[in-house]
Amino acid sequence: MLDGSLSSRPPLRRAPRTLIATLLVLGVVVSSTATRELIEGAMGSGPLADLGWIAVPVVVTAWLAPRASYRRRDALWWFVGGAGLYIFVVIAWRVAFLPYRDWPPRPDEPSRAQRPVRL
C-alpha cells in the first residue's frame, strides 16, 4: 500500500521511466541546438552562439535539480565539457520517477521526501 500523500498510481517500470528521461534529454538537446542555430543565423558564429547553446540546458537543469536532490549550482557543470550532460541525464532519470524516490536525500536537504509505505 502507498501512503495517502503519494500519487495513487504505482511507480513506473523501467521502460516508461526510460522513455520519459529520454524525452527530457532530447527536448533539452534539440531546443539548445535550435537556439544556437537561431543565434548563429542572426549574428554569426562566435561566443554568443556558444553561450546560446548552453543557456537552455543550464536553465532547465537549475530548475529541475532540487526535485532530484541536486543543487541549482550543479547546472554550472554544463560549462565543463560533458559533465553537465551526465548530471542532466541523472536528473532526468530521477525526475521521471517522481513522486517516488529511489535515491537517498542529501544531508543538507530538507526532508520533503516521501517514500512508499511497505507492509
**85 within 8 A of 100, measured Cβ to Cβ:** no
CA distances from 44 to 31, 36, 54, 55 (A): 18, 10, 16, 17
CA distances from 50 to 18, 19, 59, 87 (A): 29, 29, 15, 20
Residue 94 parent element (H or E): helix 83-95
Residues 101-116: pLDDT tens digits? 777 777 777 665 555 5
pLDDT band at residue 117, thresholds of 50, 70 and 90? Answer: low
Backbone angles phi, psi at 85, to 5 degrees: -65, -40
Q: What is the pTM of this model?
A: 0.75
Residues 58-106: pLDDT tens digits? 999 999 998 888 889 999 998 887 888 999 999 998 888 877 777 777 7
